[in-house]
Amino acid sequence: MTVNAPATSTRSEALFARAKAVTPGGVNSPVRAFRSVGGTPRFIAHADGAYLTDADGARYVDYIGSWGPMILGHNHPAVRAAVAEALLGGTSFGAPSEREVLLAELVTRLTGAERVRFVSSGTEATMSALRLARGVTGRKFILKFRGNYHGHADGLLVEAGSGLMTTSGELGAAAPSSAGVPEEYAALTLVSEYNDPAALDSLMAERGHEIAAVIFEPVVGNAGVLIPTPEFLAALHRVRDSGTLLIADEVMTGFRLSLNGATGLLGLEPDLRCWGKIIGGGLPVGAYGGRAELMEYVSPSGPVYQAGTLSGNPLAMAAGLATLGALEANPGIYQQLDRYTGQLAAGLRSAADRAGQPLSINRVGSMLTAFHQGVPDGSIATYQQAAASDTAAFAHFFQSVLAQGIYWAPSQFESIFVSAAHGDLELERTLAAAEQAYQTGGTL
């Protein structure tokens, strides 16, 4: 064996090179490109339970779970069987079918929403819910919070979260977070600071009569995990005094933090809610819903147009039904996820302490972010506080644990997601890898 043998290129490297020749940046969604942590993204060959296997045959304990949907673990037998059965009956009808009714009945039962409309992504869900709010109220403006991400519709790419925090750097005040978004669109989106009830109250006092809806992440995942304070939640509910609709974007938290999402966990009373991710069990599904009097404004019942060629797709409905059905049949999963993630948080805490690495952990149930900065656990509450994290220290952690077979989210400003397939063995491996990562990380 020669000492200076050139590193042989991996299949992931070869695939990434080919991908870059035919797809912008080599990926179909930006954070997958590993830009903020460096290195070559792993191309995944298959996934099972808590594990991803890449194109070179390396296995990883997965903490992304397809960015949230895979709460039961990958390749779950019940989901696979449901999709396989649906597949035998044809892949798309362009006409209503029974599975859409079954999933709508299940979602309304679990969430208390009276009507639900299925779309194919979280982006479509939030975009459509905002159109509905504008249609109902006859108002033009919407209000969102710094660092909250609601998908990539024009009017929502203003002060948006993770993918933009790590690709565009610092964001300007209420400026579009993307090229191609006209200032005129961005001007219809007002922005306030998350967890700042006084700022929200004063903005509402001044402009409330013009604001159709306030949209928010009830637990933020897209700036890293941020937890709303009770005072902030109270201020959110007060926006309705101005005739403004309150829209909880539960695309990430829905069916993850409880069977009724953050709404159930935190006792929220939103007018409209948006879902995605888990609702499709790994296939493309989004949804929005709420009280009948509001939702009946949607076409063909009402004047707010919204449509979709593949909406209610039978394979996607089957995956959603199997996933939500499994969660409903086994609600103990939520305690199991909470226990695992709590042990993970405690283990990271003590490993970082032993190594003298600054770390601040935010966690709700199976959502967790370990920010690389030396403030107490649970104290990071705003986008600006999150943005003060040491991203170089995070990149070291990420690469170190990746090399040890742990696939963490490739950005400091993301939540990780635990699944029901994660058990003692995975926890032990993860904490051993984290120990090594912190011990070898530079101290500040």
Ligand X SMILES: *Cc1c(COP(=O)(O)O)cnc(C)c1O
Touching ligand X, residues 274-333 (CB under 6 A): 276, 286
Nearer of residues 12 and 36 to ligand X, judged by Cβ: 36
Q: Which stretch binds ligand X (CB under 6 A): 42-50, 215-223, 235-243, 355-363?
A: 215-223
User: Residue 221, interface with ligand X (CB under 6 A)?
Assistant: yes
435 token code pair: 């120990």
Examine residue 135 and tell whether it contacts ligand X (CB under 6 A).
no
State the DSSP string of 23-87.
SGGGSSSGGGG-TTT-SPPPPEEEEEBTEEEETTS-EEEESSGGGTT-TT-BT-HHHHHHHHHHH
Which x/- pattern over 232-251 shows residues binding ligand X (rule: CB under 6 A)? -----------------x-x
Reduce the DSSP state of residue 236 to 3 states and report it.
Answer: helix
Between 221 and 441, name the residue whose CB sits nearer to ligand X: 221
Q: Which of residues 144-183 bind ligand X (CB under 6 A)?
A: 149-151
Closest to ligand X by CB, 225 or 304 = 225
Q: What is the DSSP letter of 170?
A: S
Smallest separation (angstroms) from ligand X to the CB of 144: 11
**CA–CA separation, 106 vs 223, rounded Å?**
31
194 belongs to the catalytic site: no
Q: Which phi and psi (to 5°) does residue 149 adopt?
A: -115, 135
Q: How many residues does the chain have?
A: 444
Q: Choose one: 33-41, 88-96, 216-224, 341-349; the region binding ligand X (CB under 6 A).
A: 216-224
CA distances from 19 to 14, 27, 37, 56, 120 (A): 9, 7, 19, 16, 25
Report the DSSP pairing between strands 367-371 and 416-417.
Answer: antiparallel
**Bridge-based pairing state of the strands 272-275 and 286-290:** antiparallel
Nearer to ligand X, 128 or 373 (CB): 128
Asked if 252 is part of the footprint of ligand X (rule: CB under 6 A), the reply reads: yes
Residue position matching structure tokens 């991803």:
52
Q: Are 437 and 397 in contact (CB under 8 A)?
A: yes
Distances (CA, A) of 178 to 24, 67, 222: 15, 22, 16
Kindly tell me which of 255 and 438 has the beta carbon lying closer to ligand X.
255
Which are the contacts of 390, defined by CB distance < 8 A and separation ≥ 6?
Answer: 358, 372, 373, 444
Integer-rounded Cα Rg, in Å, for the chain is: 22
Which of 12, 36, 66, 123 binds ligand X (CB under 6 A)? It is 123
Min CB(283)–ligand X separation in Å: 11
Query: Minimum Å distance from CB 9 to ligand X?
Result: 31
- The catalytic position among 51, 60, 63, 149 is 149
Q: C-beta of 249: minimal distance to ligand X in Å?
A: 5
Q: How near is the Cβ of 147 to ligand X at its closest, in Å?
A: 11
CB of 124 vs ligand X, minimal distance in Å: 7
Q: From the CB of 351, what's the least distance to ligand X, in Å?
A: 28
Rounded Cα distance between 180 and 164, Å, is: 14
Q: Which of 66, 111, 189, 222 binds ligand X (CB under 6 A)?
A: 222
CB-CB contact of 355 with 434 (8 Å): no
Name residues contacting ligand X, limited to 80-109 (CB under 6 A). none
Q: Give me the least distance between CB of 93 and ligand X, in Å please.
A: 22
Closest residue to ligand X, based on beta-carbon distance? 122
Verify binding: residue 41, ligand X, rule CB under 6 A. Answer: no
Tell me how many residues contact ligand X (CB under 6 A).
Answer: 15
| 104 contact partners, CB below 8 Å, separation of at least 6 | 116, 118
In the complex with ligand X, the residue whose CB is nearer, 168 or 440, is 168
Return the number of the residue (73 or 276) whose C-beta is nearest ligand X.
276
Based on CB atoms, which residue is closest to ligand X, 122 or 208?
A: 122
**277 catalytic per annotation:** yes
How is residue 16 written in tokens? 């990434």
Evaluate whether 320 touches 275 at the Cβ level (below 8 Å): no
- Binding of ligand X by 260 (CB under 6 A): no
Q: Which of 249, 271, 340, 390 is catalytic?
A: 249
Residues taking part in catalysis: 149, 249, 277
Question: Which residues contribute to the site for ligand X (CB under 6 A)?
Answer: 121-123, 126, 149-151, 217, 221-222, 249, 251-252, 276, 286
